[in-house]
Chains A and B, each alone.
Chain A
Amino acid sequence: MTEPRWYTIKEVAERLRVSHDTVGRMVERGELPAIRVSARLVRIPAPALHRIERGTSTVRRGVVRRQVAEAVELGTSESIPAPEAATR
């Protein structure tokens, strides 16, 4: 059987053995990121829950700067005419 890709708050509360309110607070604080599908329905992505179950904390990464000639290329996966061709 394929594992579910998301869980409800109730299911997460059962798996973590905490209250529904505790999960709600984790979602509000961003510790457990969730997708709000509607005013009443929230999806907790399975990988986000598994990270909490493993006890893996996230650590903010540092940032380094590198000088380059060109920025990261965008739109390389599609064919957009070159500017000179497009204006003809």
Chain B
Amino acid sequence: MPLTDPAVDDYVSRVVELLERYGVVLMKPAPGEPVEVLEADDGSLSFELIGSLPDGRVPALSTLEVRERLRPIDGELFERDGYEYELIDRERDFRRAFHLHDPEWFERRHLVVVHEHCERPLGDAACDHYEGSPIRDGYAGVTVLIDAWTGEPGCSQLPCLE
């Protein structure tokens, strides 16, 4: 859903709040620091969040990353046109990721806009990209990562993009 410029700040702040409610310990932004929204020369807004899921180990073995880019669609509104939601679980040795980037290339090559990654063990995947479903917003992006962390990555059930 398109957001006004001030609503983007509210949205980003709420995504961070959801991560922290799930118990994610954020490294970016650092504890107590504000979240940074980048205003690029092309008018887009973007942000990056990096954290870990505490598992009793120091450092924690599971890391989580959220990146989003929102492009201006008219003078006042912004629409999310790229994202990356990434989970690396070193304890159970897997990676799960949900991506929207380079849509023209993926559409031409695979007739899809979004794709996913699944590696288990880490570095080992049946294919470079898997078919995926669009993630509607950052709240859903955070939730699918936590779902993967508490459940199973399910790599073998994912269809490859050939």
Which A residues are within 8 Å of any B CB, using their own CB? 3, 5-6, 30-33, 35, 37, 43, 45-51, 58, 60-72, 74-75, 78, 80-81, 83, 86
Question: Cα distance A31–B17 when bound, in Å?
Answer: 11
Q: How far is the CB of B108 from chain A (nearest CB, A)?
A: 7
Q: Chain B's nearest CB lies how many Å from the CB of A37?
A: 8
Taking A63-B13, A72-B47 as known contacts, 19 extra A-B pairs with beta carbons closer than 8 A to each other, sorted by chain A number, are A33-B21, A45-B23, A45-B150, A47-B24, A47-B53, A47-B54, A50-B54, A58-B17, A63-B34, A63-B36, A65-B36, A65-B39, A72-B67, A74-B69, A74-B82, A78-B128, A80-B105, A86-B105, A86-B109
> In the complex, are the beta carbons of B35 and A63 less than 8 A apart?
yes
Q: Does residue B3 face the partner (Cβ distance < 8 Å to A)?
A: no
Nearest chain B residue, comparing its CB with the CB of A86: B105
- Contact: A61 with B29, CB < 8 Å? yes
Q: Which of B1-41 contact A (CB under 8 A)?
A: 9, 12-14, 16-18, 20-24, 29, 33-41
A7 to chain B, nearest CB (A): 10
**Which of A31, A63, A68, A83 lies in contact with B21, CB distance below 8 A?**
A31
Contact B39 A68 (CB under 8 A): yes
Q: Interface of B with A (CB < 8 Å)?
A: 9, 12-14, 16-18, 20-24, 29, 33-42, 44-48, 53-56, 67-69, 82-84, 99-102, 104-105, 108-109, 117, 128-129, 143, 146-147, 149-151
CB pair A48–B21 under 8 Å, yes or no, is: yes
Q: Give Cα A50–Cα B117 distance, bound, in whole angstroms.
A: 29
Residues of B within 8 A of A32 (CB): 21
Contact B46 A71 (CB under 8 A): yes
